[in-house]
Amino acid sequence: MAMTLHVDIVSAEASIYSGLAEFVVIPAEMGEVGIYPRHTPLLTRIKAGSVRIKSPDKAEEDLIYVSGGILEVQPGVVTILSDTAIRGQDLDEARASEAKARAEEVMRNRTSAMDYAQAQAELAEAVAQLAAIAKLRKVGH
């Protein structure tokens, strides 16, 4: 039997994932981080993107979109706290594309620095969701 670690992904609304994994890949602030059993303890911020989880009982990886947050690695346990977390199959491409277009429009017609900063954040989140959807299609979920 392969070595495993426990992974918990929690959003502001609910617990999205809780289970064993052979490894997990997270979009950390400075780049993707791969976590395997016995990883050294770690606490870091994460950015919007796809979390990939390889469960011991599945051939394919699970994909979960996170909007950013905090990653904590302790011996045998990985915890991801995010404002928004959505299972890959629940992502809505039309809604993400629409949000991207709205944010781009606001950035073109900005009325204040605050509007522009908010639009930038919304654009980054929409682009990350669309990238997660593209990854999901590539692996054939």
> Over the stretch 64-74, which tens digit does the pLDDT of each residue have?
888 889 999 99
The confidence score (pLDDT) of residue 22 equals 95
Rounded CA separation 51/97 (Å): 20
Q: What share of the chain is helix, strand, coil (3-state, %, to 5)?
A: 35, 40, 30
Placement of tokens 């617990």 in the chain = 15
Which spans in the chain are helix H? 93-108, 113-139
Give the CA count within 13 Å in the CB-facing half-sphere of 92: 6
Question: Whole-prediction pTM value?
Answer: 0.68
Which of the residues in the chain have pLDDT under 70?
1, 88-94, 96-97, 110-114, 136-141
Question: Where does residue 28 rank: exposed (0-12), middle (13-18), buried (19+ CB within 10 A)?
Answer: middle
Position 102 scores a pLDDT of: 72
The pLDDT of residue 52 is: 92
% of the chain residues with pLDDT over 90: 38
What does residue 89 show for φ and ψ, rounded to 5 degrees?
-70, -15
Question: What confidence score (pLDDT) does residue 101 get?
Answer: 75
Contact 21, 10 (CB under 8 A): no
Q: Is the distance from CB of 27 to CB of 66 less than 8 angstroms?
A: yes
